Structure 1
Amino acid sequence: MSELLATEVAREDQQRELPRPARVPAAVRRTATALLGVAVLLVVWELYRALGPVTGVEVGGQRVLPRADPRSMPGVLDVLRTLGEPEVAVPGSRTVGQAVLAACWGTFRTAAGGWLLGAVVGIALALPMQRFRLAERGLLPWVVLSQTVPVIAVAPLVAAWGGRLQLTPTLTWQPWTSVVVISAYLAFCPVALGALRGLQSPSPAATELFTACAATPRQTLLRLRVPSGLPFLVPALRLAAAQAVVGSIVAEISTGTRGGVGRLVLEYAQQATSSPGRLYAAVLGAALLGLAAAALVSVLDVALLRRHRPLEAPR
């Protein structure tokens, strides 16, 4: 028996000494997968432009695939060339790429405000829903139901109601304030659901341990529920960032607020006949803005989850 045990121990030591294959970091894999998906999409786009019918594909009298002509589907290189063209035929005017960057920066600022406001509201709703069962039954259905109302219908109402508000004698409701509120309207729901799921994630054994140690609700919240809820909250915040960008763009289009990429999409859509590449350049900027917002929130994943500690019973 001792010889068999010694043989087994020696075999395990040999296996430990064998070099293990290097693992590709998860962030690198996700980035490579995303880039591969974009590349496949661009290849499909160019193949359809080259091989697709000029009049599009119709089924039952309804067009299900777009026209493959240069005006409806400009090439990728054409869109990239459009970024270097002057926006207006005036010497010294900014290029289309500069206009898209400026518009994306304007939308990013309002989306950041909406994300912050939505995160605060979402967490403020999740705390009482976790603490009191009655609050969860009363608030949770309304949180979910709020996302079924189209933003394009809510935006004019918020702009009209806000325009009548006089916050202080010197502080009035600005058009960008409506955009921030509408952006927060889309951002708060995933935060509320993610925070609630995270706060409820500790096992019954862990909560019973804190109860046995006479922990107060505040101690249980800070030492158990919040650390356990971070893996649920960070993805919710990432989704909320993308939702905030979408809300800002839709609000800019619905309310006519200038300075953002949503308004730029409207302006370039009017020029789609003569310069279709400009519209796609604005849409490309909006898509990259959403990805950048979600990537910035991923910094929280590194800052918070890597410092996540196991539960610590109160002393």
Structure 2
Amino acid sequence: MVDSLDEGVDAAVVRAEIRRYERRARLRNVVRRVVVFAAFVIALSLLYSGYKAVGQSIDDAQRDWPVIGSVMPATNDLIMPPISAILSEFDDPPQRRNAKTLGQFIFEASLFTAREAFFGFVAGIVLGLSLAILMLRSRTIERGLMPYVVVSQTVPLVAIAPIIVIWGQTNFGWLPFTWNAWMSVSIIATYLTFFPVAVNGLKGLQSPSAESIELMDSYAASRTQTLLKLRFPASVPYLFAALKLAASASIVGAIVGEISSGVGGGIGRLILDFASRYTTGPERLYASVAGAAVLGIVVFGLISIAERYALRGRAQENPVV
């Protein structure tokens, strides 16, 4: 009896130690990621400032740069505004009649773009998974459909965006809702999002071994049961690798869609407006581009956090799109 109690206590102590070790490992991993990201931002800032400092010291764009020994573009405050000026611009109102700061403008525009990207992201997941499941059904379908899926990504997005917006302006009387311009931008985001989901989703669905599939067949499992109980769980690491790419692509698609189509309210339109007034305030354009970059980093980080929790406790794989 005493031995059993001692064994139970020892097991509880071991489990507690394992949990503490895992918490410390997760904390170290988070700290390491933060340090690496901060070091990257600092290095990029130093490179920007260093290039600007050397470029401003050369009054002739055709002169060779020191050390490099070759001609490089000269710089000035208009071409490359100081980082301090870009950061201080976030607290200044870009409009005289509006007390709202540039940071608030960028935040609200980022939320608008995030909404467009979210709907495009969800639609891209649905479309990509549907194509992956369809190609999984038959090798003939895969060989016939995959080339078109790949070719679809070679068409310039800036050429497709205005067409989609024009289609969106058509009066669809059969729709149970009013089609808004931002929905067309979501379609553009879907166009970039579905590709990695379709390709990596198919790879993940095909990842179970032949022995595992034979085992499901021996249980007389249907195709749907095999898909839900074997293929989908096996494809989760592959899908998260695709989702991280798709999340970033949805932001890019939404911004490009806003710029190409002129849809207002988002950060793409903000970039377009500040680019047209670049000579009077280059810092605003740089600040809006930085806001777009932060938005992309945030959505990528959210998917990474979801991946960490979804794959917790299972062996990690290294799927590559």
TM range (shorter): 0.7 to 0.9
Amino acid at match of 2:76: D
CA 283–55 in structure 1, closer or farther in 2 if over 3 Å, else same: farther
Instruction: Write the distance in 1 (CA, Å) between the matches of 2:175 and 2:147.
Output: 38
Instruction: Write the distance in 1 (CA, Å) between the matches of 2:171 and 2:63.
Output: 49
Q: Give the superposition deviation at 1:163.
A: 1.3
CA 37–131 in structure 1, closer or farther in 2 if over 3 Å, else same: same
4+ long deviations beyond 4 Å: 22-25, 54-59, 63-66, 307-310
* 2:123 corresponds to: 117
TM-score in terms of structure 2 length: 0.83
Contact 1:67–1:73 (CA under 8 A) maintained in structure 2: no
Amino acid at match of 1:84: D
The answer for unaligned runs of 5 or more in structure 1 is 1-19, 311-315
- Is 1:80 paired with 2:83? no
Instruction: Write the distance in 2 (CA, Å) between the matches of 1:98 and 1:169.
Output: 35
Q: Give the superposition deviation at 1:302.
A: 2.7
The answer for unaligned runs of 5 or more in structure 2 is 1-20, 65-69, 317-321
* 2:179 corresponds to: 173
CA RMSD of aligned residues (A): 2.4
1:1-315 residue pairs with structure 2 within 5 A? 25-52=28-55, 53=58, 66-90=73-97, 93-168=99-174, 171-306=177-312
SS at match of 1:273: helix
Q: Give the superposition deviation at 1:307.
A: 6.1
Instruction: Write the distance in 2 (CA, Å) between the matches of 1:64 and 1:303.
Output: 50
TM-score in terms of structure 1 length: 0.84
SS at match of 2:280: coil
Q: Give the superposition deviation at 1:235.
A: 1.4
Amino acid at match of 1:37: F
Instruction: Write the distance in 1 (CA, Å) between the matches of 2:106 and 2:72.
Output: 28
Q: Give the superposition deviation at 1:189.
A: 0.3
Contact 1:167–1:173 (CA under 8 A) maintained in structure 2: no
C-alpha deviations, 1:15-71, integer Å up to 9, x for none?
xxxxx9x75744443333222212111110011111124565799xxx985442011
CA 66–205 in structure 1, closer or farther in 2 if over 3 Å, else same: farther
C-alpha deviations, 1:243-276, integer Å up to 9, x for none?
0000000000111000000000011112211211
C-alpha deviations, 1:212-246, integer Å up to 9, x for none?
23222122112211111000001101110100000
C-alpha deviations, 1:123-178, integer Å up to 9, x for none?
11111111211221121111111111111000011111221141447733211111
Number of aligned residue pairs: give it.
286
Amino acid at match of 1:217: R
